């Protein structure tokens, strides 16, 4: 398994991973319309090009095949907070240490930049909440974030890096 920084050439792979992970992750939490809308807005080629300019994307590959991705950035330089914007792992890879290794790679990058906290949002009904707890994240606050005609009902979680 390798973890590397993604480039624009990886956009098709990121889009495919997003589609292959969002449906099984959110089908029991969000409506099909909301999943489709969010995939179309957050994972369109133009949206990903913009995100790649502002965030670092990591791709995880097993046998040269993309199996996971994550993105992060420094969200608050004064307080040294890094934001884990997204992390998605193919269902077939979950439970194999892929997510733990991706988070460790992000923590390492945050420490290199003098980061002290890593923060993320997770839907309050997403089972990944338990994975994040195992990785040392704690609930910092709850947030209901408007997103077009929808709401993202999230926990904001943090951990020291």
Across 30-42, average pLDDT:
95
HSE (side-chain half, CA atoms, 13 Å) at 96? 13
User: What pLDDT sits at residue 102?
Assistant: 98
Q: How do residues 61-91 score in pLDDT, each as one tens digit? A: 999 999 999 999 999 999 999 999 999 999 9
- Here the tokens at position 158 are 């943090």
Q: Is residue 150 pLDDT above 90, yes or no? A: no
Give the β-pairing of 138-147 and 117-123: unpaired
Are the beta carbons of 68 and 87 closer than 8 angstroms?
Answer: yes
HSE (side-chain half, CA atoms, 13 Å) at 154? 16
User: What pLDDT sits at residue 147?
Assistant: 87
User: What pLDDT sits at residue 148?
Assistant: 86
Give the domain CATH number at 34.
3.40.630.30
pTM for the predicted model, two decimal places: 0.93
Are the beta carbons of 93 and 66 closer than 8 angstroms?
Answer: no
* Integer Cα distance of 147 and 28 in angstroms: 19
Q: Which tops the pLDDT comparison, 148 or 10? A: 10
HSE (side-chain half, CA atoms, 13 Å) at 139? 11
Number of folded domains that form the chain: 1
**Boundaries of domain holding 112:** 2-160
Q: How do residues 100-145 score in pLDDT, each as one tens digit? A: 999 999 999 999 999 999 999 999 999 999 999 999 999 999 999 9
User: What pLDDT sits at residue 97?
Assistant: 96
User: What pLDDT sits at residue 37?
Assistant: 96
């Amino acid at each position: 398994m390798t973890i590397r920084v993604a480039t624009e050439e990886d956009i098709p792979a990121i889009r495919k991973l997003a589609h292959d992970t969002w449906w099984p992750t959110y089908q029991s939490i969000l409506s099909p319309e909301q999943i489709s809308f969010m995939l179309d807005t957050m994972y369109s080629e133009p949206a990903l090009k913009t995100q790649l300019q502002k965030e670092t994307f990591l791709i995880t590959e097993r046998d040269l095949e993309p199996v996971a991705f994550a993105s992060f950035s420094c969200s608050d330089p004064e307080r040294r907070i890094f934001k884990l914007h997204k992390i998605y792992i193919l269902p077939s890879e979950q439970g194999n240490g892929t997510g733990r290794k991706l988070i460790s790679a992000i923590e390492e990058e945050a420490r290199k930049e003098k980061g002290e906290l890593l923060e993320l949002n997770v839907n309050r009904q997403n089972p990944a909440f338990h994975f994040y707890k195992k990785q040392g994240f704690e609930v910092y606050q709850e947030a209901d974030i408007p997103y077009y005609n929808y709401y993202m009902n999230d926990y904001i979680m943090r951990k020291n890096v």
